[in-house]
Amino acid sequence: MRPHRVRTVRRLARAVVAASAAVATLAFGLTTTSQAANPTLREAAEPTGRFIGTAVNDGLLSNSTYRNIASTEFSSVTAENAMKWESVEPQRGQFNWAGADRLVQFAQQNDQLVYGHTLVWHSQMPDWLENGSFSNSELRTIMTDHVTTQVSRYRGQIPRWDVVNEAFNEDGTFRQSKFYQQLGESYIADSFRAAHAADPSAKLFINDYNVEGVNAKSDGLYRLVQRLLDQGVPIHGVGLQSHLIVGQVPGTLQQNIQRFANLGLEVVITELDIRMQMPADSSKLQRQAQDYRAVANACLAVDGCTGITVWGISDRDSWVPDVFEGQGAACPYDENYQPKPAYEALRAAFVEAGGGDPGDPGDPGDPGTGSCTAVFTVSNRWSTGSVVSVSVRTTQALNTWRVEFDLPSGVTVASGWNGGFSQSGSRVTVTNAPYNGTVSAGGTLSFGFQTSGGAAQDGTAVSLGGQRCAAG
Ligand code: G3I
């Protein structure tokens, strides 16, 4: 297994293309920058230096839609459950790494980071630990052995770990977990020391919920972190889970991120979701989008905030309805894996902070792969313009699409429909509109536009997702 993620020169080249496409778009004012570039979330996040992650449910990786979104939209993955103690050591001394290994392998195949979650937590402990009686020294050994075993297994492959999870009560005192009750506060420092010894390159986090704003709980966390730093304990980051409610993003979120960053720590938004009372409606979804954007903006405004992970891809898979009766719709994709306004808002926040990235521009002159067939028809023409309709049949199911082609020199797109249009020189890039991104295998996407400065040519070569289509 290879270490961490490698950035490629190609990505830098893409950023340049993105910038020029965005400029061209603004020049003829057809779309906003984000619509023009239409990058994936991970492409949008890349120039900001932040990762965009998702919790991954191991059982859903066999679903091709889920798998495709997880790999193409996100640059980091967190195991929703597969790395928890009950999953990896269901019987004392008997380890099951299958789910955790699968996720690490998935990430490596897809050039993604893995965010390790979680080592020492009062919840989802195996029965033998939850219900077992151990002397204090035995429990301390069990705990540090567990940390050592798990972090060692993925040494060099998991750059960030939630070492201790949910150690606090709402009033900022320590949660009376088995570890705290028997070992006192020192269980925290010991866990971090064991993790650091097992992988000195990993950044070690303490993670909690309801600590997003400045409040009694985050004050308690802040004081603990200060103490740990004073004692030389190897702690490198704070995870703000961010299980939020629509309309209730704390006004002090950025201030809170900043105060932890000022201690020299990384901050990560580790488990973002924003739930609402069901049924969802368009005004709640719009408000949710604003809230997603506000959270992203708060992170992006602070240098030390290095990434955002959403806690689940789609509303279909979210933990929320199981736990909060009558609430849901908390994720960036809906029940049918369609991107919601929250998705667009998250992406727009990254695009605005760092510049868009439309992906490989492709070359309509390249030999095709046979995965699409395009019909480029000029339905009306005159000396200074034309009307064009384009339809592209795809053999592969799509969640979003990007079509490119070249117009004759001096010819530009004056207006377009059923897509977002941008032009850089003669190259035109068209991305799906919010309502027509999904195309089933064997289905057809279509859009149209009007030119100025001259007419387009019938049968112009077209590429889909950087690959040339056969002429239909
Ligand atoms: O594995 C069993 C399965 O054998 C059984 O058939 C099934 C029946 O309900 O349950 C399965 O266990 C479930 C487990 O997820 C694995 O899928 C539990 O019921 C379910 O309660 C558990 O929920 C997880 C929850 O943590 C447990 O606390 C959620 O999926 C997961 O999203 C959630 O994640 C936590 C973070 O780790 C920490 N922060 C809060 C966040 C939300 O609660």
Residue found under tokens 């240098």: 303
**pLDDT computed for residue 340 by the predictor:** 97
C-alpha span between 82 and 98 (Å, rounded): 8
Burial of 121 (0-12, 13-18, 19+ CB in 10 A): buried
DSSP 238-263: EEE--EEETT---TTHHHHHHHHHTT
Who wins on pLDDT, 256 or 418? 256
0.75 exceeded by pTM: no
**pLDDT computed for residue 471 by the predictor:** 86
- Average confidence (pLDDT) over 22-27: 34
118 preceded by a cis bond (ω within 30 of 0): yes
Residue found under tokens 């052995």: 145
C-alpha span between 150 and 95 (Å, rounded): 10
pLDDT tens by residue, 193-225: 999 999 999 999 999 999 999 999 999 999 999
CA-closest residue to ligand 1 atom 34:
80
**pLDDT computed for residue 356 by the predictor:** 47
Q: Which residues contact 13 (CB under 8 A, 6 or more apart)?
A: none
**Which of helix, strand or coil describes residue 20?**
helix
To the query of whether residue 166 is one of the catalytic residues in this protein, the response is yes
**Architecture of the 13-353 domain:** Alpha-Beta Barrel (3.20)
- Average confidence (pLDDT) over 88-106: 97
Among residues of the chain, what percentage have pLDDT more than 70?
A: 89
- Domain residue extents for the chain: 13-353, 372-471
User: Which of 27-41, 83-97, 137-151 shows the lowest mean pLDDT across its residues?
Assistant: 27-41
Who wins on pLDDT, 361 or 114? 114
Q: Residue 210 C-alpha to ligand 1 middle, in angstroms?
A: 19
- Please determine, for residue 90, whether its predicted confidence score (pLDDT) is greater than 80: yes
CA-closest residue to ligand 1 atom 17:
81
- Please determine, for residue 86, whether its predicted confidence score (pLDDT) is greater than 60: yes
* Residue 422: pLDDT band with limits 50, 70, 90: confident
pLDDT tens by residue, 164-175: 999 999 999 999
C-alpha span between 311 and 405 (Å, rounded): 38
Among residues of the chain, what percentage have pLDDT more than 90?
A: 76
DSSP 352-413: HHH---------TTSPP-SSEEEEEEEEEEETTEEEEEEEEEESS-BSS-EEEEEPPTT-EE
**pLDDT computed for residue 370 by the predictor:** 59
Pocket probe for ligand 1: among 56, 124, 327, the residue whose CB has the most ligand atoms within 8 Å is 124
Beta-strand (E) ranges in 157-304? Answer: 160-165, 203-208, 237-240, 243-245, 266-277
**pLDDT computed for residue 398 by the predictor:** 82
Q: Residue 298 C-alpha to ligand 1 middle, in angstroms?
A: 29
C-alpha span between 73 and 52 (Å, rounded): 8
Q: Which atom of ligand 1 is nearest to the CA of 55?
A: 32
Ligand 1 interacting residues, C-beta cut-off 6 A: 80-81, 123-124, 209, 241, 271, 319
CA distances from 93 to 9, 90, 132 (A): 45, 8, 14
- Please determine, for residue 381, whether its predicted confidence score (pLDDT) is greater than 70: yes
C-alpha span between 207 and 241 (Å, rounded): 7
Q: Which candidate in 43, 73, 212, 271 is catalytic? A: 271
Six token digits for residue 53: 């992650």
Cα 64 to chain centroid distance, Å, stands at: 18
DSSP 267-282: EEEEEEEEEEESSP-H
- Please determine, for residue 157, whether its predicted confidence score (pLDDT) is greater than 60: yes
- Please determine, for residue 369, whether its predicted confidence score (pLDDT) is greater than 90: no
User: Which of 70-74, 230-234, 430-434 shows the lowest mean pLDDT across its residues?
Assistant: 430-434
Q: Residue 128 C-alpha to ligand 1 middle, in angstroms?
A: 18
- Please determine, for residue 35, whether its predicted confidence score (pLDDT) is greater than 50: no
- Average confidence (pLDDT) over 348-358: 76
Q: Which candidate in 166, 212, 344, 404 is catalytic? A: 166
- Please determine, for residue 6, whether its predicted confidence score (pLDDT) is greater than 50: no
pLDDT tens by residue, 181-190: 999 999 999 9
**pLDDT computed for residue 14 by the predictor:** 42
Beta-strand (E) ranges in 407-443? Answer: 412-417, 420-424, 427-431
**pLDDT computed for residue 355 by the predictor:** 61
- Please determine, for residue 55, whether its predicted confidence score (pLDDT) is greater than 70: yes
Q: Which residues contact 153 (CB under 8 A, 6 or more apart)?
A: 97, 100
pLDDT tens by residue, 98-140: 999 999 999 999 999 999 999 999 999 999 999 999 999 999 9
Residue found under tokens 């032009």: 423
Who wins on pLDDT, 369 or 223? 223
**pLDDT computed for residue 33 by the predictor:** 36
Q: What is the mean pLDDT of the chain?
A: 89
- Average confidence (pLDDT) over 47-74: 97
pLDDT tens by residue, 220-247: 999 999 999 999 999 999 999 999 999 9
Pocket probe for ligand 1: among 81, 177, 206, 242, the residue whose CB has the most ligand atoms within 8 Å is 81
- Please determine, for residue 336, whether its predicted confidence score (pLDDT) is greater than 50: yes
Q: Which atom of ligand 1 is nearest to the CA of 84?
A: 37
Starting at the edge strand found earlier in the chain, the sheet holding 467-468 runs 420-424, 427-431, 402-406, 463-464, 467-468
H-helix or E-strand containing 28? helix 9-28
- Average confidence (pLDDT) over 278-292: 97
Starting at the edge strand found earlier in the chain, the sheet holding 444-452 runs 412-417, 444-452, 385-394, 372-382, 470-471
* Residue 23: pLDDT band with limits 50, 70, 90: very low
User: Which of 12-21, 150-159, 247-256, 402-411 shows the lowest mean pLDDT across its residues?
Assistant: 12-21
**Which of helix, strand or coil describes residue 452?**
strand
Pocket probe for ligand 1: among 77, 80, 211, the residue whose CB has the most ligand atoms within 8 Å is 80
CATH number of 372-471: 2.60.40.290
CA-closest residue to ligand 1 atom 41:
271
